[in-house]
Amino acid sequence: MQFSGFIFLLYAHSLFRWLVVVSLVYTLYRAARGCYMQTAFSKTDNTARHLTATIVHIQFMLGMVLYFQSPVTAYFRQHTSSAVHQPDFLFFGLIHALLMLAAVVVVTFGSALAKRQAADAHKHKTLLTWYLIAFVVVVIAIPWPFSPLAHRPLIR
């Protein structure tokens, strides 16, 4: 991959994280509202569930391409024993990748479980539970400017 293509993917991945965060927050809001107000699981709720899972999967694919193209993660894979002692390499080579993979699995599992629930209350509760877990994992794994492991700007 050419360097300009890598930079484009890096910017896209950085900006797309905001879609992930916003869609998770919106879906969590809809699920919490549905739980506490005991509303029906509407078409809007289902669309939010599906769209959030889709956004998370697109972000994951961007991240996987970056993981296998990035010089940082290439260094980590080739020099793991020394790279684990360097916070940036450890974060992007292992922590970020594993936590985000876990978040994708949780979103996928939660989405599938919620879709298959019979009662609307169970759909809302399932979505709220699983997407909240995923949201916490995502927030932990994002390289915020204030992160002790890897410092990245809010917008590249």
Residues 34-50 have pLDDT tens digits of 999 999 999 999 999 99
CB 127 within 8 A of CB 117: no
Query: Is 70 exceeded by the pLDDT of residue 27?
Result: yes
The dihedral sign for the CA sequence 72, 57, 19, 123: negative
Contacts by residues 80-88 (CB-CB < 8 Å, ≥ 24 positions apart): 87/148, 87/149, 87/150, 88/149, 88/150
Confirm whether 132 is domain-assigned: yes
Neighbours of 83 (CB within 10 A): 19
**Average pLDDT taken over every residue of the chain:** 92
Distance separating alpha carbons of residues 128 and 118, to the nearest angstrom: 16
Answer yes or no: is pLDDT of 1 > 70.
no
Please give the residue range of the domain that contains residue 102: 3-141
Residue 149 placed within a domain: no
Domain count along the chain: 1
- Given this model, what pLDDT does residue 140 score? 93
Q: Is 154 a member of any domain?
A: no
The answer on pLDDT for 4 being more than 80 is no
Domain assignment of residue 156, yes or no = no
The answer to whether residue 155 is domain-embedded is no
8 or 128, higher pLDDT: 128
Name which of 149, 47, 94, 154 is nearest 102 in CA terms.
94
**How many separate helices (H) and strands (E) can be counted in the chain?**
7, 0
Model pTM above 0.75: yes
